[in-house]
Amino acid sequence: MAASSSKTIVVQTTLGPQRFREMPNIDEYVEAHAERFEEELCQLLKIPSVSAAPEHQGDIRRACYWVADQFRRLGFVTEVVPTAGHPLVYAESPPVPDAATVLVYGHYDVQPPDPLEKWISPPFEPTERDGNLYARGATDDKGQMLTHIKSAEAWMEVEGRLPLNLKFVIEGEEEVGSAGLEAYLVEQAQRLACDCVVVSDGAQFAPGRPAITYGLRGIAYYELRLAGPKRDLHSGSFGGSVTNPANALARMLAALVDEQGRVRIPGFYDDVVPLTDRERKEFASLDFDEKAYFEEIGVRGATGEAGYTALERRWARPTCDVNGLWSGYQGEGAKTVLPATAGAKFSFRLVPNQDPEKISAALKPMLSELCPPGIEMELIDFHGSPGVLVPLDSPYIAAAARAIEHAFGRRPVFAREGGSIPIVTAFHETLEADVLLLGWGQDDDNTHSPNEKFCLADFHRGIKASARLWKELSEI
């Protein structure tokens, strides 16, 4: 395990496993070097590595080499790996035989900064205000990614080694789809083998409430195209005698969900891992303010699967959502058309252990059955992905919780997330490893918006938690 297959072999002294009961020296190192860590973060933030903008190609390279240089200085085996798009950085710490192996994922590319005029300070001139560092990429993901590099540095400087094997994959295409990384993952799966994956590219539950996100929903996404008459017809002359594809679409979509908000596809719930009592208690203990939530969204009430709270519905129950609808006349006024076609995009959020392929296999005959005479149906099956769930009783979760409590002074919240993070699913599926989602950011960090920020206290707590995490994971 953890033997380097890098082409550039760097001779390393290999060290056996060792116990690190307390880490006062490492915490002290992190505190003593806090100012320099911030300066280094600012160096990286000054590079406008906007992956979506061809004119920033050079900046992308600069940021990539800046990251690679961090690893080289630590004596890590380091590679800049070309992809069809922007290069990624792969690095490995000196091998520690018989110790656990952890893969850290992050990205050095950033979102475009537009609209520029809304920034209080320029996006690529990092500026501190009220304990926050404002810059594009501060939290997403340069600041969070750097916590794991700096924690590795602390270990290397204080102990001369890490307590386990670290592998880093830092890509430059996260904001544009991670195509290069996904190919790399499949190609290098053996080399990337690990016990767990650590990702810090998200937010805490609330200020002062650090979180471990232990579950993501998956997705199965479809487009349904219905074709009726070969041309639009006059709804007066023909209406009533011809099956209207827009009417048919409404019926078919409506039939997907029952009165209780449950999806009616046969077998849909068969593989659903139910919420445990512990989870429901954990969620309830979060004091999630439904009223404030709905107010923020701008609705006065809600529907959903009967028997579940809003948080349970978002995080841990499957759904059916229509994502798009189109047919006939969408302009001003009244046009008496019986449309030739109608279409919809719709998707199911899946929870573990639902299988998108099994859903597709049950959905197709159901829709065919619902499709009325006079309508030709085409179902496009977009690539689906299953949900991800790290069991709450996993030792990795327990280790991460201890590390976070050490650094943040508070037990983390155990949260799930309703969306998918395709790259997390890819790591989970390709490497068959549990993924620890340890977000050091805040919900109001303005990722993807003007005035992105990262709380500097969270930056430093993140480094300390990361350093502790290596110890905790090495002791499992």
Binding segment toward a copy of itself, per CB under 8 A, in 106-114, 145-153, 372-380, 460-468: 372-380
Minimal distance in Å, beta carbon 226 to a copy of itself?
11
Structure tokens at 453: 């920020």
| Cβ-based burial of 181 (10 A; exposed 0-12, middle 13-18, buried ≥19) | buried
DSSP secondary structure code for residue 50 in this structure? B
Is 175 known to be catalytic? Answer: no
Minimal distance in Å, beta carbon 380 to a copy of itself?
9
Minimal distance in Å, beta carbon 455 to a copy of itself?
21
Determine, following the binding rule CB under 8 A, whether residue 418 of this chain makes contact with a copy of itself. yes
Minimal distance in Å, beta carbon 219 to a copy of itself?
7
Determine, following the binding rule CB under 8 A, whether residue 6 of this chain makes contact with a copy of itself. no
27, 153, 171, 174: the active-site residue: 174
Determine, following the binding rule CB under 8 A, whether residue 217 of this chain makes contact with a copy of itself. yes
**Nearest CB to a copy of itself, comparing residues 4 and 213:** 213
Determine, following the binding rule CB under 8 A, whether residue 314 of this chain makes contact with a copy of itself. yes
Among 144, 319, 446, 474, binds a copy of itself (CB under 8 A): 319
233: three-class secondary structure by DSSP:
strand
Neighbour tally for 161: CB within 10 Å? 18
399: three-class secondary structure by DSSP:
helix
Size of the chain in residues = 476
Minimal distance in Å, beta carbon 344 to a copy of itself?
8
User: What whole-number distance in Å separates Cα of residue 430 and Cα of residue 189?
Assistant: 7
First to last CA, the chain: 16
Contact between residue 52 and residue 107 where contact means Cβ atoms under 8 Å apart: no
Determine, following the binding rule CB under 8 A, whether residue 142 of this chain makes contact with a copy of itself. no
Binding segment toward a copy of itself, per CB under 8 A, in 64-72, 78-86, 152-160, 296-304: 296-304
User: What whole-number distance in Å separates Cα of residue 300 and Cα of residue 306?
Assistant: 18
Binding segment toward a copy of itself, per CB under 8 A, in 56-64, 165-173, 271-279, 293-301: 293-301
Minimal distance in Å, beta carbon 269 to a copy of itself?
14
Is 114 known to be catalytic? Answer: no
CA-to-CA separations, 260 to 305, 307, 370, in angstroms, rounded: 6, 9, 20
Contact between residue 220 and residue 348 where contact means Cβ atoms under 8 Å apart: yes
**Selection from 462, 469, 408, 413 nearest residue 440 by Cα:** 462
Stretch 323-342 residues interacting with a copy of itself (CB under 8 A) = 323-330, 333-339, 342
65: three-class secondary structure by DSSP:
helix
Among 143, 228, 356, 386, binds a copy of itself (CB under 8 A): 228
**Nearest CB to a copy of itself, comparing residues 100 and 421:** 421
Binding segment toward a copy of itself, per CB under 8 A, in 8-16, 132-140, 272-280, 292-300: 292-300
Binding segment toward a copy of itself, per CB under 8 A, in 152-160, 169-177, 273-281, 411-419: 411-419
385: three-class secondary structure by DSSP:
strand
Contacts of 74 (CB under 8 A, 6+ apart): 93, 149, 152, 153, 156
So which residues are the catalytic ones?
109, 174
